[in-house]
Structure 1
């Protein structure tokens, strides 16, 4: 439990996000919730717990008991799976309204939502409709981690992949040009506090592992516009391409932290990292927007490390080299 005037934060679905849990633990008593005992990020928290599955009727009551017991003032999901569940629950969750959560979990609904707000989204149709041009991407409507996404050069390939993918899909223009992500944070009233764009140098499984924070006012404004139009509450990640023919087009919106969490951490001004801002908002502070105020040029490159667990699945404290990872030279 938080003491000495501190606050408690509950992070759900922590998985491998050791970086995010560690960052919050610098500023608040941090509780990590994940049903897997092998989720490594749980070991970076002050307290780790094993909730029921998200589809279990006991999931929300379990979280509510944690909130009451530990004085939790912010619940922050780290996966897509429970965002809408948290939005519908009586919890201090940093998530949008349930309708926004539902729409952004369905990529075709996201496309329609963006167009309804006058925001750019690539031409997109459903199976049975003819796309305006080829090539296209056949994508699951509720896919994640770049699962089952296939490029199709013509009608025959499109029809094949629509049949091949065993879930509901949509067909979207294959965007030319570079891909970007914009990491933004909104307050609980939907005001964008900051929007930090980055390149997508390399991604694996839909998660960025290399990228550079860039000074791009058009992308900053796009991120702010998306965050305030939805509106988002808490972290949000916007993915977009800059197509040589059609210009900017948003291909995904995730109302949570993105995979490239290090980028806004390195680029944020001192005292203005997103975990710090969330903790300050949870304390009741009203924050001034500082959209576009960040340090561009920082590049991140992510790598693997691991924990050794004993027979009781607790960390042994032993590492593969003394004192952990060797400092960069």
Structure 2
């Protein structure tokens, strides 16, 4: 029998404080919200019921540390928030399942496809969905420009990138050559970790015209399509949606269903789409909670409650997917006071007695610590 209570752990919690609040509300006192990050001062660490300092994602101790943490804290659900950790958590999903932790992450194949912008474009083309023209070398792009097949402006970007790092918009041939050389030099710092050394790691794509949208495509924990939330983007900041309004757009809802049924991803799929002349054009896929989800939540979406219900083997609450249209929202900065200090924790530390007396193993080479 599944437990009535559930502790939820957010990894690479960073600044996603709003997600902690959404899940805490969904739990309604039937569990704790935990945060893990390699930065002891990360904002989400302060507002979690308990927060743990863990190794960086690229450390060989990252997965073993999380496994120990999940086992000791009786974590029922793990929510991954960073692109760099999705693949390794997906590969280790069975190890977490053995200790009773449901990792809300898609299969390695889906993670790899979404991380690779060229593979994403090929996938869209196979489904008959429009996507930007993509070129793997500056010479082929220059030839396409010369033959009139490609027009400026263009984007030079990491093929395996995240958070718009290393993306350059170019308006002429000189800028294209310059951005290509600069991009090659900066690839190791701008690409996702597993692909930083790839020589084919830079991509040129044409700029898309039309209105930009973000859609949340929600599947259940078995990869079955459930719903799509549509937001028209009104403003961007550092590669993330800053202002948006929810809309009723049947074309994009239909696109979401096609993507969800084809990918069979798990949980939320954050997608960037352009609409031009009534035709959607897919730009990117992010198989996790993205920066656009708060705009869905502000209009009534409650994916956290659905995920918790599915993990418990229950039907989600009524109207969890009943989003209101024409709800306009905007993000703002908020200051969080850092009023808890990190305390080293040893293997002999006793079990949890209260939300602010949580513990975890202390590895000799990659210690974990607790905020209290």
Q: TM range, normalised to the smaller chain?
A: 0.7 to 0.9
How much does 1:292 deviate? 7.6
Q: Name the CA distance, whole Å, in 2 between partners of 1:116 and 1:266.
A: 34
Q: Is the 8 A contact 2:214 2:232 kept in 1?
A: yes
Pick which of 124-133 and 39-48 moved more.
124-133
Q: Name the CA distance, whole Å, in 2 between partners of 1:66 and 1:280.
A: 23
How much does 1:121 deviate? 1.6
Q: Name the CA distance, whole Å, in 2 between partners of 1:115 and 1:290.
A: 34
SS in 1 for 2:125: helix
SS in 1 for 2:103: coil
- Is 1:247 aligned with 2:271? no
User: What is the match of residue 9 of structure 2?
Assistant: 10
Q: Name the CA distance, whole Å, in 2 between partners of 1:119 and 1:190.
A: 21
- Output the TM-score relative to the length of structure 2: 0.77
SS in 2 for 1:31: strand
How much does 1:259 deviate? 0.7
Pick which of 206-215 and 27-36 moved more.
27-36
Deviations 1:231-277 (A, max 9, x none): 21011101011134x932111110011112321212236xxx01111
Q: Name the CA distance, whole Å, in 2 between partners of 1:291 and 1:105.
A: 29
- Aligned equivalent of 1:77, options 77, 80, 86: 80
- Is 1:129 aligned with 2:162? no
User: What is the match of residue 307 of structure 1?
Assistant: 336
Q: Is the 8 A contact 1:220 1:292 kept in 2?
A: no
- Is 1:189 aligned with 2:222? yes
Q: Name the CA distance, whole Å, in 2 between partners of 1:217 and 1:295.
A: 14
Pairing of 1:219-234 with structure 2 (within 5 A):
219-234=252-267
Closer, same or farther: CA 218–292 of 1 in aligned 2, 3 Å: farther
Q: Name the CA distance, whole Å, in 2 between partners of 1:142 and 1:11.
A: 23
How much does 1:16 deviate? 0.6
User: What is the match of residue 108 of structure 1?
Assistant: 118
Larger Rg: 2
- Aligned equivalent of 1:202, options 227, 230, 235: 235
SS in 1 for 2:104: coil
- Output the TM-score relative to the length of structure 1: 0.86
User: What is the match of residue 367 of structure 2?
Assistant: none
Q: Name the CA distance, whole Å, in 2 between partners of 1:24 and 1:216.
A: 27
Q: Which runs of 5+ in 2 are unaligned?
A: 97-101, 188-200, 344-372
User: What is the match of residue 109 of structure 2?
Assistant: 99
Pick which of 181-190 and 201-210 moved more.
181-190
Aligned length: 308
Pick which of 303-312 and 134-143 moved more.
303-312
Q: Name the CA distance, whole Å, in 1 between partners of 2:321 and 2:249.
A: 9
Deviations 1:263-314 (A, max 9, x none): 1212236xxx011111111112255998984211111111111122248379
Q: Is the 8 A contact 1:191 1:289 kept in 2?
A: no
Q: Name the CA distance, whole Å, in 1 between partners of 2:206 and 2:223.
A: 30
Q: Name the CA distance, whole Å, in 2 between partners of 1:198 and 1:231.
A: 22
User: What is the match of residue 63 of structure 1?
Assistant: 66
- Aligned equivalent of 2:289, options 239, 257, 263: 257
- Is 1:86 aligned with 2:89? yes
How much does 1:219 deviate? 0.9
- Aligned equivalent of 1:174, options 186, 207, 210: 207
SS in 2 for 1:129: helix
Q: Is the 8 A contact 1:192 1:228 kept in 2?
A: yes
Q: Name the CA distance, whole Å, in 1 between partners of 2:316 and 2:22.
A: 19
How much does 1:83 deviate? 0.6
Q: Is the 8 A contact 1:87 1:95 kept in 2?
A: yes
**RMSD of aligned C-alpha atoms?**
2.4
Q: Which runs of 5+ in 1 are unaligned?
A: 315-329
User: What is the match of residue 21 of structure 1?
Assistant: 20
User: What is the match of residue 326 of structure 1?
Assistant: none
Q: Is the 8 A contact 1:13 1:78 kept in 2?
A: yes
Q: Name the CA distance, whole Å, in 2 between partners of 1:184 and 1:71.
A: 29
- Is 1:274 aligned with 2:277? no
Closer, same or farther: CA 211–192 of 1 in aligned 2, 3 Å: same
How much does 1:150 deviate? 1.9
Q: Name the CA distance, whole Å, in 2 between partners of 1:258 and 1:311.
A: 28
